Amino acid sequence: MENKNVLVRNHVLGLLEGGSLSGQGKLPGARELASQLGISLLTVQNALETLVNEGVLRVIPRQGTFADPAWENRILQSNISFYMPEKHLPWSFRFGEIVAEHLPQLHLTHRMRNGIFEIRPTLDVQTRHKEYLDAEPLFRTCCPNPDEFFDTPVQAFYYGKKLAGIPFLFSPRVLFVNLKMLEQAGCPVPEPDWMWEDFLECIRILRKTFAPECVFHWSPAYFLWMNFVLRAGGALIDPSAPDPVLIDSEKTRLGLQLFRDLRRLLEKNGSYHPQGIYAFEHGKLAFMVDARQAVGRLLKTGMDGWTTLPLPHIPGGCDTTIQATELLCIRKECVNLDTAEQLVNLLLSEEFQDHIADLGYGIPLRKSSAERSLATSLPGNDLFRAELKNMCSRYYLDSEELAALVSTGIGELLTGNQDIEQGTAELADLVRSYFRIQRKTALAEQMTEERFSIYERGA
């Protein structure tokens, strides 16, 4: 039986997120809503009162009910929040249908960034892992036969025995190539075993015909430059090393230097021109680094004449590529683990995993669904299958503060002209100081807890 209270809640949340309220965020009156929805006035009033108690709405006497100024920051037990607008995630429409059928009490949102249930990408989960409950028991309950699912994509989200999020799709990153633009510029299609200098030569040829923003999607985003750091054999942090900070290591510096050299090759009038990856989908970009998630978008836009290549090899480096992941995370404040279990079951079900497979959007976590998708004639399938063994997804940026420090520092270094050696040395020293302060803080907290425990026992 349809829960009319839930219907009212979702309708009001939809009004807020759609921006269809009056300029001051005023809701229609309860009687008007009751008439519009064909629901009793008492039910509407109860639903509005609940949203007021949750901080989403506020009542101003003799004026009406309004959206609370901070409504987007509220964390609701009924919300599944997305890290980007659902329209950019091809699987979200079917997901919404399944949730509406099986878990109608839940509401999908991207305007309210945080929810009890959250769909998040790789680095978001790793930097915020302390906010999420341990999903290991749920994962094992919903996946009693672990051999049916890929294990490697899951391992990156363990912290000790705690699982911070449950991946439901993933992919290595590769280079997407617009064959029509290469042909127009007279640039031969590179061989799969191509080297860094071969890549630069392609860039030079393409630059003779196309503007720099149409050649390669260059930006200081971590998921781009990190590929080239790993490709050079570098890393940011290695907890097992005597000095865990590797930002100023020789190979990390090489990867960063090469990526900045690439920027300079693409410069026009002294600055780089980043181009959104969606340009590739419309045939206006020659090269982009992306995961198999892009295949689903290319199928949706109908673009043809493209292929994929491994990222170019860097002498003395390795074949590592960054894993792109979409995960379900459950916040520690969750009060209904039955709902959480149902949600995990839906995401990992054969029905939904096969739906992801048919979209060509990423690689489903369920092996049978992945094989269903990779067995098609889509370009790049053989490469994505081969690159599974080369995926890396642990950067050890395990807090938002550390991730912001590193990504901001390297971003400024890549977009500026400071000497790479000097800049990485300064940033590495900052990160080492961060770790020292973090250790001292943890030690002080531990000592405080021990003293308090001794006091309690004595009392």
Residue ranges, the chain, pLDDT below 50: 1
- The pLDDT, as a whole number, for residue 267 is 81
Tens-place pLDDT, residues 93-120: 999 999 999 999 999 999 998 999 999 9
Extract long-range pairs of 89-98: CB within 8 Å, 24+ residues apart: 89/119, 89/326, 89/361, 90/296, 90/297, 90/300, 90/359, 90/361, 91/169, 91/296, 91/352, 91/355, 91/356, 91/359, 91/361, 94/352, 94/355, 95/346, 95/347, 95/352, 98/346, 98/351, 98/352
Per the CB < 8 A criterion, the answer to whether 27 and 67 are in contact is: yes
> In Å, what is the CA distance from 139 to each residue of 132, 154, 354?
14, 10, 19
Q: Is the pTM of this model over 0.85?
A: yes
Tens-place pLDDT, residues 411-454: 999 999 999 999 999 999 999 999 999 888 766 666 666 565 65
**What's the rounded Cα separation, in Å, for the pair 74 and 8?**
18
Report the Cα 205 to chain-centroid distance in Å: 33
- The pLDDT, as a whole number, for residue 51 is 94
